[in-house]
Homo-oligomer: A and B are copies of this chain.
Amino acid sequence: MMNTPLLLSSMIERAEQYFPGKQVISRTLGGIQRFTYKEIAERTRRLASALEKLGMQKGDKVGTFAWNHHRHLEAYFAVPCRGALLHMVNIRLSPEHLVYVINHAEDKILLVDEDLLPLIERIQEQLETVECYVIMSDQKEVPNTTLPNAFSYEALLDVGDPTMPFLHDLDENTPAGMCYTSATTGMPKGVIYTHRSLVLHTLSLGLADSFGIREEDVIMPVVPMFHVNAWGMPYAGTWFGATQVYPGPGLSPAVIAQLIEEEKVTVTAGVPTIWLGLLKELEENPRDVSSIRGLVSGGSAAPKGMIRAFIEKHQIPFYQGYGMTETSPLVSLSKLTTTRAEKEKDQAIDIIATQGLVVPGLEVRVVNEDGDVPRDSKTMGELIIRGPWIADSYYRDDRSKNTFKDGWLYTGDIAVQDEHGYIQITDRTKDLIKSGGEWISSVNLENALMSHEAIFEAAVIAVPHEKWQERPVACIVLKDAYKQKITKEEIIDYLKPQFAKWWLPDEIIFMDEIPKTSVGKFLKRELREQLKDFFVKP
């Protein structure tokens, strides 16, 4: 068989050749813009040429600091298809972490959104490797900035070569992309994706039983493009010729609902916080969202109440995906197999609320000190993963050895498996509550709490306890309509039938907001810090 390498160039070239008239719809500061794939491909070639004029060479790192829009998509291909590496910098990192990741990756060129300039300007003097900045804006003038060596993206494209070739002779193991984890402790850790891993991951997104992205789709990645390759959607959308909608900066639930209705979005993906917001929005301002054939939630567990609302109230097919920066990210998806759909119709929501079945191409196991745990839906173990789009190390990072062992990725996620092999994450290893020698899953308690009609968000954390070692405390945000109208006792009573007595939280704390990480996950570390002395007698 031919040893043709698996390369990202095949994706953009396929869109250019076979879907030249199909659209990429991009919401920028200037409003909605529409480009054909013919235009996107030409602009991508121009960008590749412009970046090489600025000094980009094979193996160099080019950073992006940007929202989801067409220019970011162009960078997704222009950089790796010339043998360089795209570092998608998380715009929500703290200044300290930003400096760390840009210096650690050794980014040579940084593409920065106009409205995000202040975030880079204030750290600019600490950036050790960046030689120039390309400002992404609808205008051709470089905006006022204190950044040195700043160029206008659009002006560079004007003089770029529209026929710049994409490389076909790269080794498929050439690094193509890079993301850092949004660490809750320590500095972020870098993961490098290769052409091979991204191509294989994209094939998995195209499988009929996975996202099944196809030409007739209108896909909208709400998940940021700086967050694990926007879950691979930009690659899949381009390769398979789907229409793509990029929702841009200043994203609100209202904007998301409007784009779904107006562009007839069929597949969209994002974190649960986004979908909680959309649900609220749809209840307040109904929209026709019937075009959606798949709404995918990932990044953290989706509350069952939310899943039920999407499926039963809005007739929107809802799936939960599981993955992480280290896994490209798609590992599993909670679709019902025919066997389960027939036999467990009434449990459909419960099944969709799991992390689902591993996609073809990867292997997962749930292990504890005795080896693989039984598939009994209750024995907890750590989820470990192996496969061709799973990282084998962190980029230049001594912490690799804690996570990558014996050829497997140790996820740090505690899971159970049911008899069908569906995974359910019950906790992060570090969020488990160890009470009197037994484990209590914070996630199970949170899911139960968030299925209560009065509760908008809930985070359950372990608080040090003299007698029991740790005890659970629940931090709760009530929906506006329920504020001051429900008591702690009512909430505990709601939990009682669902859990053993010793699992029940010792305390309910009402809050206005749960602190979150840059990508919308609960920042439990901060809650634990706030409440660490809660059980300490004065």
Q: Does A19 contact B (CB under 8 A)?
A: yes
Query: Which residues does chain B contribute within 8 Å of A193, judged by CB atoms?
Result: 1
CA distance A212 to B357 in the complex (A): 18
Q: Does A363 contact B (CB under 8 A)?
A: yes
CA distance A44 to B240 in the complex (A): 35
Query: Which residues does chain B contribute within 8 Å of A360, judged by CB atoms?
Result: 10-11, 14, 203, 206, 239-240
In chain A, positions 314-360 with a C-beta closer than 8 Å to chain B are 337-339, 357-358, 360
Given A10-B361, A17-B421, A420-B18, A207 and B240 contact (CB-CB distance below 8 Å): yes
Do A391 and B1 have beta carbons less than 8 Å apart? yes
Of chain B, the residue at the smallest CB distance from A17 is B421
CA distance A213 to B19 in the complex (A): 24
Query: Which residues does chain B contribute within 8 Å of A212, judged by CB atoms?
Result: 208, 212
Do B1 and A388 have beta carbons less than 8 Å apart? yes
Query: Which residues does chain B contribute within 8 Å of A1, judged by CB atoms?
Result: 173, 192-194, 196-197, 388-392
Query: Which residues does chain B contribute within 8 Å of A390, judged by CB atoms?
Result: 1-2, 4
Do A388 and B4 have beta carbons less than 8 Å apart? yes
Do A209 and B203 have beta carbons less than 8 Å apart? no
Do B206 and A214 have beta carbons less than 8 Å apart? no
Do B213 and A208 have beta carbons less than 8 Å apart? yes
How many residues of A are counted as interface, with CB atoms below 8 angstroms from the partner's CB atoms? 54
Do A421 and B387 have beta carbons less than 8 Å apart? no
Describe A's contact surface by its main secondary structure: loop
Of chain B, the residue at the smallest CB distance from A175 is B1
Do B4 and A386 have beta carbons less than 8 Å apart? yes
Do B208 and A363 have beta carbons less than 8 Å apart? no
Query: Which residues does chain B contribute within 8 Å of A386, judged by CB atoms?
Result: 2, 4
Do B388 and A338 have beta carbons less than 8 Å apart? no
CA distance A409 to B1 in the complex (A): 11
Query: Which residues does chain B contribute within 8 Å of A530, judged by CB atoms?
Result: none
Query: Which residues does chain B contribute within 8 Å of A339, judged by CB atoms?
Result: 19, 21-22
Q: Does A155 contact B (CB under 8 A)?
A: no
Cβ contacts A52-96/B at 8 Å (1 or 0 each)? 000000000000000000000000000000000000000000000
Cβ contacts A194-207/B at 8 Å (1 or 0 each)? 10110010011011
15 CB-based A-B contacts, threshold 8 Å: A1-B173, A1-B194, A1-B197, A2-B390, A2-B391, A3-B388, A6-B388, A10-B361, A10-B363, A200-B203, A206-B206, A208-B208, A212-B212, A215-B337, A215-B338
3 closest Cβ pairs, A-B complex: A208-B214, A208-B212, A1-B197
